[in-house]
Amino acid sequence: MWPEGVNPKTVLYGTGAVGGAVAAAAGIYSYMYPYAFRDRHQVRLELAIIEKFTNIIMSGGTVLSQFAEAVRRHPDKPFLLFGTEAHTYGEVDAMANRVANFFHGMGFQKGDTVALLIYNEPAFIWTFLGLARVGVKMALLNTNLRGQALMHCFRVAGATGLIVGQGQPLLDATLELMPELQAEGATIWLQGSAHPPAGLSAWDGPVQRESDQPLTVQVTITPADTLCYIYTSGTTGLPKAAIIPHTKFIIGGNSLLLIQGFTSEDVLYVTLPLYHSSGLMLGIGTTISKGATVALRRKFSAHHFWEDCRHYNATVIIYIGELLRYLCTLPERPDDKDHKVRLAFGNGLRPDIWKQFQDRFGIPRIGEFYAMTEGNVGLTNISNKVGAVGVYSPMYRKYRPSSVIECDIDTGEPIRGKDGWCKEVKIGQPGLLVGPTDPAVPYIGYLGKPELTQRKILRDVFREGDAYFSTGDLMVFDKEYFIYFVDRVGDTFRWKGENVATTEVAQVLSKMEGVQEVNVYGVKVPGQDGRAGMASIIPLPGQQPDFRRWYRYITEKLPTYAQPLFLRLTQEIQVTGTFKHQKAALVKEGFDPRRVADPLFVIDNGRKTYVPLDDTVYRRIVVGHARL
Ligand SMILES: *[C@@H]1O[C@H](CO)[C@@H](O)[C@H](O)[C@H]1NC(C)=O
Ligand SMILES: *[C@@H]1O[C@H](CO)[C@@H](O)[C@H](O)[C@H]1NC(C)=O
């Protein structure tokens, strides 16, 4: 994380004693500012955590050394729980050694890249740790991706091997791409099968036969080395690979410790996918850094959630907002509070669900945070304030700088004043969250062309020569200086916890038969988080849309979260002054047939087609009776 030659301690703390400075500042502030105590508490906690992970990084710590430390402390303690399986730290260590010996024996070396397409299960973890020991970088593929999007992710990482986990859908996705994968010269292993189909190599037998002792060669892994790639949809184009060095994993894996009281006795229940930052770094990273226990489930299931928590005696869960919303839609049961979960940690929890979730399931603490896989801005509400993601007071920002600036609410474009500089927003006014890209909080960016990284940097924001990373998120702060997430702006929207790039979906839809032009955007659905995909389509003149065919094409080419749920057939698409598709008006009109004169259609997964969306269907969706 730190560029060479930069001492993070100096940068983060300056030269003075921070604790004293914070206390003094709080003393002065408290005369005119009643929240000084809260802010001092927050700053102190955060600086303590920063100091902790800085020390780990400065002394050469990596995920491997943190794991080795946990193994040394308690080899016989359960590390992974999965169904009826329990694997101790020692056992996972031995399995990771087998994986490391296997790859080393195959000639893989530090700097090579292998892609993983594995659901949440124990094999994910020991494969991950084993490859890390050889210094092989891992491309963590999203298990929902199919076809060209999946192939793209494999290709941009420069991977020479692919490890496919258990589960028929993953095998199907791989078989579909066999010719292309083979053209890339990739070796493909299939876990959990003694007799894989032609073109794939068996994994379990050969790996089991390896020694469970550490590698006999010395591989030097430093904190700055790349551990893995995590894919984000970014704002334009296909998924981008964000580079995750060991440092970032250490930081992610230690930040949950902000919520004090997390101990090695805790059992963390993780249903968020391990190919995303939250599942991997908060889930696995935190467990490893504390030597705790993690219970895994292949995929999130609302119906099995509490049953699992009881079964595993889970004490901590990590979430994205949508997940808790699904849990709240379950029919109430007398045993709703019958579990040991005392802390939920995650992001995207909206105020309407926060209280409901907390009261109904009796969760004492909720820790909401805001961070981006590829970004450099982090906020955490460690104070249980309903809905807030953190604090944004002048005092806090002295230590943890970020700014919310005036922008066009639809496009996210910063609005500059007459003098050419950006302006910070006032209380209650939504704006774009940006973070300075100074060397203390560097922005590592994406693999590939530098433009991918540069596009997210704003320059000359408050003064000549400065540079800020744009989060693409709208935030608002209140008079107590609590800060809240409002919405995403620009060319992406969030649905089912995934970022969807509208241009990418539009690209796919524009190749559909009978389509002349298409404009993709996200629309609000009452009672649901994020925005559902909608496409406004101009059909080719003289052609009737074949909705069954469109449905088949869309579901084949796009992962579920990116499929447009609503279609709007239209005759013209408005463009902006710079010939971009106009979206704001369409977003506002949404899928309400009373406001839209064009014919509207909604996806029908039962009948595998799109069906007309009239008043009755609309009402069923709005009251939550129609499943989306
Ligand atoms: C959960 O706790 C109960 C009671 O302490 C215990 O009997 C059970 O074995 C625990 N479950 C697991 C999976 O450890
Ligand atoms: C967020 O802030 C509120 C208000 O101070 C506090 O009660 C709550 O515990 C905070 N959440 C966390 C995780 O600190």
Q: Do 278 and 189 have their domain in common?
A: no
**263 or 566, higher pLDDT:** 566
Q: Do 209 and 340 have their domain in common?
A: no
What one-letter code names the amino acid at 382?
I
The reply to whether 226 falls in a domain is no
Task: Kindly give the distance from the C-alpha atom of residue 313 to the centroid of ligand 1, in angstroms, as a whole number.
Answer: 6
Q: Which atom of ligand 1 is nearest to the CA of 312?
A: 13
Q: Do 405 and 347 have their domain in common?
A: yes
High-pLDDT (> 70) share of the chain, %: 85
CB 254 within 8 A of CB 1: no
Q: What is the pLDDT of residue 547?
A: 96
Q: Do 202 and 346 have their domain in common?
A: no
Q: What is the pLDDT of residue 624?
A: 77
Q: Does residue 583 carry a pLDDT above 90?
A: no
User: 445 pLDDT band (50/70/90 cuts)?
Assistant: low
Structure tokens at 353: 């669900």
Q: Does residue 447 carry a pLDDT above 80?
A: no
Distances (CA, A) of 275 to 70, 424, 516, 549, 585: 23, 35, 36, 32, 35
Task: Kindly give the distance from the C-alpha atom of residue 387 to the centroid of ligand 2, in angstroms, as a whole number.
Answer: 9
The reply to whether 229 falls in a domain is no
Q: Which of 84-88, 301-305, 391-395, 607-611 has the lowest mean pLDDT?
A: 391-395
Q: Do 361 and 257 have their domain in common?
A: yes
Q: Rounded to whole angstroms, how far apart are CA atoms 436 and 454?
A: 14
Structure tokens at 589: 């009109």
Q: Do 506 and 597 have their domain in common?
A: yes
Most confident of the following: 123-132, 358-367, 369-378, 580-589:
123-132
The reply to whether 79 falls in a domain is no
Q: Do 92 and 210 have their domain in common?
A: yes
The reply to whether 540 falls in a domain is yes
**444 or 300, higher pLDDT:** 300
Q: How confident is the model over 247-259, as pLDDT tens digits? A: 889 988 887 776 6
Buried-exposed string 155-165: b where 16+ CB fall within 10 A, e elsewhere: bbbbbebbbbb
Give me the phi and psi of 573, to 5 degrees please.
-120, 125
Which of 466, 488, 510 is where one domain is finished?
488
Q: What is the pLDDT of residue 452?
A: 53
234: left (phi over 0), alpha (psi -120 to 50) or beta: left
Q: Rounded to whole angstroms, how far apart are CA atoms 591 and 533?
A: 10
Q: Do 417 and 458 have their domain in common?
A: yes
Q: What is the pLDDT of residue 453?
A: 57
β-strand partners of 412: none
Q: Do 106 and 160 have their domain in common?
A: yes
Q: How many helices (H) and strands (E) does the chain have?
A: 22, 28
User: Which ligand is closest in space to the CA of residue 313?
Assistant: 1
- Compute the half-sphere exposure of residue 445: CA atoms within 13 Å on the CB side of its CA: 14
Q: Rounded to whole angstroms, how far apart are CA atoms 436 and 441?
A: 8
Q: Rounded to whole angstroms, how far apart are CA atoms 345 and 288?
A: 17
| Neighbouring C-beta atoms of residue 88, cutoff 10 Å | 17
User: SS3 for 90?
Assistant: helix
What one-letter code names the amino acid at 274?
L
What one-letter code names the amino acid at 627?
R
Pairing relation of β-strands 600-604 and 566-569?
Answer: antiparallel
Q: Which atom of ligand 2 is nearest to the CA of 384?
A: 8
Q: What is the pLDDT of residue 3?
A: 33
Q: Do 481 and 497 have their domain in common?
A: no
**258 or 395, higher pLDDT:** 395
Most confident of the following: 75-84, 255-264, 275-284, 415-424:
75-84
Q: Does residue 29 carry a pLDDT above 60?
A: no
Give me the phi and psi of 78, to 5 degrees please.
-60, 130
Determine the average pLDDT of the residues in 121-130: 98
Q: What is the pLDDT of residue 278?
A: 86
Q: What is the pLDDT of residue 455?
A: 60
Q: Which atom of ligand 1 is nearest to the CA of 81?
A: 13
Determine the average pLDDT of the residues in 423-442: 79
The residue whose C-alpha atom lies closest to atom 14 belonging to ligand 2 is: 382
The reply to whether 230 falls in a domain is no
Most confident of the following: 164-168, 349-353, 398-402:
164-168
Q: Does residue 333 carry a pLDDT above 80?
A: yes
* Domain count along the chain: 4
User: 481 pLDDT band (50/70/90 cuts)?
Assistant: confident
Question: Domain of 459: which CATH number?
Answer: 3.40.50.12780
Helix (H) or strand (E) holding 94, with range, is helix 89-105
Q: What is the pLDDT of residue 10?
A: 32
Q: Do 111 and 40 have their domain in common?
A: no
Determine the average pLDDT of the residues in 150-161: 94
Q: What is the pLDDT of residue 379?
A: 57
The reply to whether 237 falls in a domain is no
The residue whose C-alpha atom lies closest to atom 9 belonging to ligand 2 is: 384
Q: Which atom of ligand 1 is nearest to the CA of 295?
A: 13
Say if ligand 1 is within 6 A of residue 86 CB. Answer: no
Q: How confident is the model over 280-299, as pLDDT tens digits? A: 998 999 999 999 999 999 98
**391 or 574, higher pLDDT:** 391
Say if ligand 1 is within 6 A of residue 313 CB. Answer: yes
Determine the average pLDDT of the residues in 528-532: 87
Of 58, 65, 48, 81, the closest CA to residue 1 belongs to 58
The reply to whether 238 falls in a domain is no
Mention every residue, 6+ apart, whose C-beta is less than 8 A from residue 277.
Answer: 230, 244, 252, 371, 373
Mention every residue, 6+ apart, whose C-beta is less than 8 A from residue 21.
Answer: none
Q: Which residues line ligand 2 (CB under 6 A)?
A: 259, 365-367, 381-385, 388
Q: How confident is the model over 600-625, as pLDDT tens digits? A: 999 999 999 999 999 999 999 888 77
Task: Kindly give the distance from the C-alpha atom of residue 263 to the centroid of ligand 2, in angstroms, as a whole number.
Answer: 20
Q: Mean pLDDT over all residues of the chain?
A: 84
The reply to whether 228 falls in a domain is no
Q: For the whole model, what pTM was predicted?
A: 0.74
Q: What is the pLDDT of residue 596?
A: 92
Helix (H) or strand (E) holding 523, with range, is strand 515-523
Q: Which of 174-178, 310-314, 441-445 has the lowest mean pLDDT?
A: 441-445
Q: What is the pLDDT of residue 7?
A: 36
Domain carrying residue 154: 87-221
Q: What is the pLDDT of residue 110?
A: 97
Q: Does residue 178 carry a pLDDT above 50?
A: yes
Buried-exposed string 122-143: b where 16+ CB fall within 10 A, e elsewhere: bbbbbbbbbbbbbbbbbbbbbb
User: 307 pLDDT band (50/70/90 cuts)?
Assistant: very high
The residue whose C-alpha atom lies closest to atom 6 belonging to ligand 1 is: 313
User: 430 pLDDT band (50/70/90 cuts)?
Assistant: confident
> How far out from the chain centre does Cα 521 lie?
20
What one-letter code names the amino acid at 225?
D
Q: Hey, which of 262, 318, 383, 485 would you mutate to test ligand 2's pocket, going by the most ligand atoms within 8 Å of its Cβ?
A: 383
| Neighbouring C-beta atoms of residue 237, cutoff 10 Å | 15
Give me the phi and psi of 522, to 5 degrees please.
-110, 140
Q: What is the pLDDT of residue 260?
A: 64
Which of 488, 505, 531 is where one domain is finished?
488
Determine the average pLDDT of the residues in 208-214: 97
Which of 488, 521, 554 is where one domain is finished?
488
Q: What is the pLDDT of residue 129?
A: 98
Q: Do 427 and 280 have their domain in common?
A: yes
